[in-house]
């Protein structure tokens, strides 16, 4: 008796969230379910422009020979092809209209978003897929405040299901710069968790004296008044607390936080301390929902 071999099920498409230092690739089924995923450190800074086509081919060889949608810094001046930003207010339809096919019918790059008001300017690449995906998946309402912590923390207001405006805070980058290049660096080696030291940093942020408070952290250790092992958590709390404080949250206002669990917990504590109500959202689920909505729009589903 002959037994038929199982038929491999191909994904409908592959989505790549291609950042500056890392990338994630998702094999996604027609119904939006993630079938497989890979992650590595081949962000755009690690890939020469002439090598992007080869990198995409390698991902296809691993996850499936299907169309690919890319989002993130791969569409920047440092990426594969520079893709023009779409001006806010913008929804998923604007992202679909702004797609650039670098390999016709095979590989497209999603545009980022820009926002200007008076003398203020801001841009994002990649976060827009998560923001609009959270709304599309019902993880956040059509009118909401959303926060995406990270190297560059994004704060966005969604109105009627579209991104109305946003602002970026260099919170994570500031911590990294302080650790690598400042007098505080030797003291920023401890673990950052939501504990007493982190909460002390949040409270210190309410004094609204960020620059002098940062130096005070070093002075406190030098004078024996602070435990050096707690400095990283206190400084993290100070920076995140200052970030959240800038948002002028209304008492009880919901903030939908799109993040990995560890960072999400820290921002949730900061939002609570500022009088807001945090709602944690898995950023990977939001991304897959957003990129699937874009795929369905261009696939006619």
Query: How high is the pLDDT of residue 300?
Result: 72
* CATH code (residue 206): 3.30.420.310
- Cα of first residue to Cα of last residue in the chain, in angstroms, is 41
Helix, strand, coil percent content, the chain, rounded in steps of 5: 40, 25, 35
Tell me, yes or no, whether 19 and 134 share the same domain: yes
Question: Per the domain annotation, does 160 fall within a domain?
Answer: no
**Which run of H or of E encompasses 233?**
helix 231-245
Distances (CA, A) of 227 to 35, 56, 182, 205, 207: 47, 48, 18, 19, 21
Residues 6 or more apart whose CB falls under 8 angstroms from that of 225 comprise none
Query: How high is the pLDDT of residue 47?
Result: 97
Q: Which structural domain range is residue 38 located in?
A: 13-140+284-297
Tell me, yes or no, whether 97 and 56 share the same domain: yes
Question: Per the domain annotation, does 222 fall within a domain?
Answer: yes
Query: How high is the pLDDT of residue 290?
Result: 97
Token pair of 1, please? 């008796």
Query: How high is the pLDDT of residue 301?
Result: 55
Tokens 């422009």 sit on residue: 49
Tell me, yes or no, whether 38 and 83 share the same domain: yes
* CATH code (residue 98): 3.30.420.300
Question: Per the domain annotation, does 162 fall within a domain?
Answer: no
Query: How high is the pLDDT of residue 256?
Result: 98
Dihedral class, residue 161 (left if φ above 0, else alpha if ψ from -120 to 50, else beta): left
Q: Rounded to two decimals, what is the model's pTM?
A: 0.93
Show the low-confidence residues of the chain (pLDDT under 50).
1-7
- Residue 216: count of CB within 10 angstroms of its CB: 15
Tell me, yes or no, whether 25 and 135 share the same domain: yes
> What are the tens digits of pLDDT across the range 209-236?
999 999 999 999 999 999 999 999 999 9
């Amino acid at each position: 008796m002959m037994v038929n071999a199982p038929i491999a099920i191909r994904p409908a498409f592959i989505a790549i969230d291609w950042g500056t230092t890392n990338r994630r690739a998702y094999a996604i089924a027609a119904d939006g379910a993630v079938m497989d995923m890979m992650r590595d450190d081949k962000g755009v800074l690690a890939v020469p422009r002439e090598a992007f086509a080869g990198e995409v081919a390698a991902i296809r060889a691993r996850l499936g020979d299907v169309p690919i949608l890319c989002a993130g810094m791969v569409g920047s001046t440092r990426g594969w092809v520079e893709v023009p930003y779409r001006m806010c207010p913008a929804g998923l339809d604007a992202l679909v209209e702004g797609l650039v096919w670098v390999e016709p019918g095979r590989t497209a790059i999603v545009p980022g978003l820009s926002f200007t008001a008076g003398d203020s300017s801001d841009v994002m690449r990649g976060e827009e897929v998560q923001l609009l995906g959270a709304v599309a998946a019902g993880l956040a309402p059509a009118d909401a405040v959303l926060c995406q912590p990270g190297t560059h923390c994004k704060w966005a207001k969604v109105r009627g299901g579209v991104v109305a405006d946003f602002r970026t805070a260099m919170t994570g980058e500031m911590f990294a710069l302080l650790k690598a290049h400042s007098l505080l660096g030797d003291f920023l080696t401890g673990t950052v968790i939501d504990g007493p030291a982190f909460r002390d940093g949040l409270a210190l942020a309410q004094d609204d004296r960020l620059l002098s408070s940062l130096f005070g952290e070093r002075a406190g250790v030098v004078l024996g008044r602070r435990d050096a092992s707690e400095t990283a958590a206190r400084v993290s709390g100070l920076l995140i607390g200052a970030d959240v404080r800038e948002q002028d949250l209304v008492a009880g206002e919901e903030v939908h936080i799109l993040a990995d669990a560890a960072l999400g917990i820290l921002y949730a504590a900061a939002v609570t301390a500022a009088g807001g109500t945090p709602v944690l959202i898995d950023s990977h689920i939001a991304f897959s929902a957003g990129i699937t909505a874009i795929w369905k729009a261009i696939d006619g589903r």
